[in-house]
Structure 1
Amino acid sequence: MWPADHLEDAPGDRTRLKNMQQLIQLRWLAVFGQIVTIEVAHYGFRIPLPLEPMLIVLAALIGFNVASLLRWRTGREATNTELFVAMLVDVATLTAQLYLSGGATNPFASLYLLQVILGAVLLQAWSSAALVVITGLCLIGLALFSRPLALPLDLDRGLASPYIQGMVLCFALNASLLLVFITRINANLRARDARLASLRQRAAEEEHIVRMGLLASGAAHELGTPLATLSVILGDWKRMPEFTSNPELLQEVDEMQAQLKRCKTIVSGILLSAGEARGESSTATTVVTFLDDLVQEWRDSRPVTTFVYENRFGHDLPMVSDSALKQTIHNVLDNALEASPHRVTLDVERVDDRLVLTVTDAGPGFAPHMLTQLGKPYQSSKGRPGGGLGLFLVVNVLRTLGGNVTAHNLAEGGALVRISLPLSAVILEEEEPNAS
């Protein structure tokens, strides 16, 4: 039901710290419960108890818990050994109180089981096994060396017997504490497992991106030579009399050269994103200029009927032209254009310290299952092999830059995709002018 031998915590995992904080809360309940139990037994049932030594043990437990509370407020992660030591302190104080109040004959001796179960949940195998041995030895020691309380043997009275009442109360206490704290501890473990699963998924996606990048880079290298050959051939054609004397053929050659130039630009962008620039270098620009230029390039090279672009970024900031970010925005616009060939809208604005781009279309919208798995590879409504990689790359590029992408369908029809990116990831901070 519960894992006894936990995986080592990943960096940044706070599961053991949260479990230590649960132990501190449990210890406060133990302090309160001991005070109430001592008062009821000594003054209610008139059972003679050594109050002074029992209160000294209680004060020591309070002091230890205060020190623990101060120590773990720093947020430092706890280790298995520190959890083990904390539980040994609890076992020691329980043993001392039982020794002073009847030893193994005390009905609250079964509280050892609470420590054993918590140890099995919280500790590694060696330390939980050690805790079982220690609690067993403590119980044997109480049976050998402690003195039972002078209580009448009235077990035949049933629930009217103070001993039976103590056993019932101890059972209720054990069951309640186990229900509350095991539930909380399991919630901590489930949160840890969910975080580890998310990290594994992210690592798998990043590995997928690396493989895609290697394939794209290799393809770009292979395409470089035939594209250069085609460029030379088209240049020769353009000078041939057969073409110079025919305006229609010359226009088609010009169109072919334009498309070839676009292909070479795409190949250069792929290699630049892979860190293999083909002579082109990143250039200094501004946020507004960068967005205006990429929108103009996209508009000129796509068959869009109606494209509404509004740049409300406001006070401009310097940045370096980033081909990966440019291709990311182009991917979002391409998806919108494919879903809605007649109308695409791009709205740019600055919200606090973030760049926010909102793309809307008038298409059929996203399928419900795509919205719940936005950015997962091969999740596409287009029904073709390899579909869905565009948004997958968009999500992962933005995540690398500290941004995010959200999407939802519009009530009036169509879909909205919103890109949010921290300005610190793109601007030149050292050259940023003072905001007016």
Structure 2
Amino acid sequence: MGTDLAAKFEPSSRRLRLETLIRLRWVAVAGQLVTVLLVAFWFEFSLPLAACLGLISALAAANTVLWLRFPATYRLEPFAAFAVLSLDLFQMGALLFITGGLSNPFAPLICIPVIISFASQPTRHSIALFVTALAFITLLAFTTSPLPWFEGQALTVHPLLQLGMWCSIVSMMAFAAFYAYRVSRESSLLADALTATELILQREKHLHQLDGLAAAAAHELGTPLATISVVAKEMERELGQDERYREDVQLLRSQSERCRDILRRLTTLANEDEAHMRQLPLSSMIEEVIAPQREFGVEIELIEQSDRSEEPVGIRNPGILYGLGNLLENAVDYARSKVTVSTEHSPTHVRVTIADDGEGFAPGVLQRIGDPYVTDRQQNARAGGLGLGLFIAKTLLERSGASLRFENGEAPGTGARVLVTWARADMEGGAP
């Protein structure tokens, strides 16, 4: 159950929205232009003004072309985004190269394209951009262009300080890029997992609604089929004695009657079964969860610790059925020979415990249990992963008001337990 979903909802890199990038670049153009003009005319520092304005104009021109060429909703392919971010990197690197290199207080801004790439692009493109930026930062340490400063004064930076600035910028870029990558990846994983959860819940609801669809179809087909039946009777009365048509007419009438019987059963199916299908006692719900797992060579023992006559009766909830089914499937996968399902209820709470006699949860997995794409309990060759499927099960059960606790047996290697607990009011009155 969970393994198939994990294959379908593997995390994918998000495409960078061009409009967002264009707006960021306009901010960069405005910031660079204001900074250069202030340095040149307010502080009256000497700097290559024409070259600086040329580089800023080139960035503005490239941004204008992108703005006019593509619609606002366009999303860049990974290679196109890499090319655009590389252009930004080259422009910023060139501007810093002619204005003092690493001694320029704005030198850390060269890290921005790399951070954007790691937050939104595939790893291979981001690493290539990181290496390019590293080369630029190293080149900036050897620039011969002086930092714009007061006339008649030369601001010299000691080589050791240059090395320190190089180390600080590189380390800041590496840390910020790694952080952006991790946050973006986790967000993408969570979004994909929640999408899979919604699809599973919708599928379970659609299966539950099939009886209603059948009744609706039977109702719609009832009128034309009644007309066919009437016409068949008239034909039988008129042509019943004719040897050429008698068998065909009788067959037509018998089959129309058969269709009416089928539609009648479909019509009454929802009415007859609706009550017990919507209201599901705890024992019936657990049996429905257990039944599909009995044929896999693992003994499943059901222990009812409370009197069945006082068991809760709740609304049939596809999310609960799927969630408990997934937990039981994982227990069967990892069990050596036996899985125990225990139920307990009181006037205030309902608890279902699923325990197996396998190796139990690995310590690292137990700390992160329920996160999407956390796989492997202990390395079990015949068992699937404990990843997306378990995340979906946990999410669906928590939506129904349940709290889950995952733990190992008291002694090492004595199996794992999952305790699912509801307030009785949530179990009996929860929406499907």
Q: TM-score range by the shorter chain?
A: 0.3 to 0.5
Q: Provide the TM-score with structure 1 as the length reference.
A: 0.41
Q: Provide the TM-score with structure 2 as the length reference.
A: 0.41
